[in-house]
């Protein structure tokens, strides 16, 4: 959080509801303070932890949505067996009555916003993108010899097609706040870098990750290799700029 930030303002910037942010961070009010770190989900919704005896039908009824809505935002099939402790993304911020324990998170990075990705890249581009800060001249292209396969979509992201194994470079210097293998809600193997100007860049669908969380990287440093992991139909890099305009 930066000085002057408000929860409604942050929610508008990321194209989600303030209630979604409150639920993800166990907040009991919209009060925030400078230096506080917030979990930002990519779409409005909540993460549900599977409990013993729960079924998809029962979960859907609890949140007043359809089973198909849950399947659309997760990687399992309708007849999949749910294991206790599994995380399921629910595309709804209507939450059943529960006890909420407030948690305070602080960070030396006052501008840091750390997203937890739990949904594939679906939905339209937030209207808030047009109001984001300019990043022209701040970033370099993360890959070379690519062809753009999809323009702005999802959360201020674009797709750049390139062969598997093409080096992915940090678009600007910063700290790696996420470096994670797996499905990750459709992003596949992905990396998130926090930059000094308050923005974050997201690099998805990599075949290999070459940096770890907490590592400082320089602009142009190779951080991953192009792949086709997660929700992907062919080798490409999905790159997002969060908090600023996407110059790519």
pLDDT tens digits, residue range 170-199?
999 999 988 989 887 788 999 999 888 888
- Residue with token string 């940090």: 170
More reliable by pLDDT, 44 or 168: 168
pLDDT at 18: 81
- DSSP structural state of residue 142: S
Q: What domains are defined for the chain?
A: 1-43+99-116 (no CATH), 46-90 (3.10.350.10), 123-242 (2.70.70.10)
16 pLDDT more than 50: yes
97 contact partners, CB below 8 Å, separation of at least 6: none
Q: How confident is the model at residue 107 (pLDDT cuts 50, 70, 90)?
A: very low
> How far apart are the C-alpha atoms of 159 and 157, rounded to whole Å?
7
Report yes or no on whether pTM surpasses 0.75: no
pLDDT at 83: 83
> How far apart are the C-alpha atoms of 132 and 246, rounded to whole Å?
9
């Amino acid at each position: 959080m930066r000085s002057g930030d408000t929860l409604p303002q942050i929610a508008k910037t990321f194209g989600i509801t303030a209630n979604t942010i409150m639920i993800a961070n166990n907040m009991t009010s919209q009060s925030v303070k400078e230096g506080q770190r917030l979990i930002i989900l990519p779409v409005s919704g909540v993460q549900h932890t599977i409990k013993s005896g729960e079924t998809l039908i029962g979960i859907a009824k609890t949140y007043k949505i359809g089973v198909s809505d849950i399947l659309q935002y997760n990687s399992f099939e309708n007849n999949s067996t749910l294991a206790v402790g599994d995380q399921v993304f629910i595309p709804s911020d209507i939450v059943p009555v529960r006890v909420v324990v407030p948690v305070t998170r602080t960070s030396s990075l006052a501008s840091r916003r750390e997203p937890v990705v739990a949904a594939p890249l679906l939905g339209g581009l937030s209207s808030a993108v047009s109001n984001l800060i300019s990043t022209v001249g701040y970033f370099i292209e993360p890959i070379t010899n690519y062809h753009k396969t999809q323009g702005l979509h999802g959360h201020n992201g674009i797709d750049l097609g390139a062969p598997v194994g093409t080096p992915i470079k940090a678009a600007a210097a910063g700290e790696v706040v996420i470096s994670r293998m797996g499905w990750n809600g459709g992003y596949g193997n992905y990396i998130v870098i926090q930059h000094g100007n308050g923005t974050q860049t997201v690099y998805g669908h990599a075949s290999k990750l070459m940096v770890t969380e907490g590592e400082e990287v320089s602009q142009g440093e190779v951080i991953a290799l192009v792949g086709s992991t997660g929700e992907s139909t062919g080798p490409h890099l999905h790159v997002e700029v969060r908090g600023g305009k996407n110059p790519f």
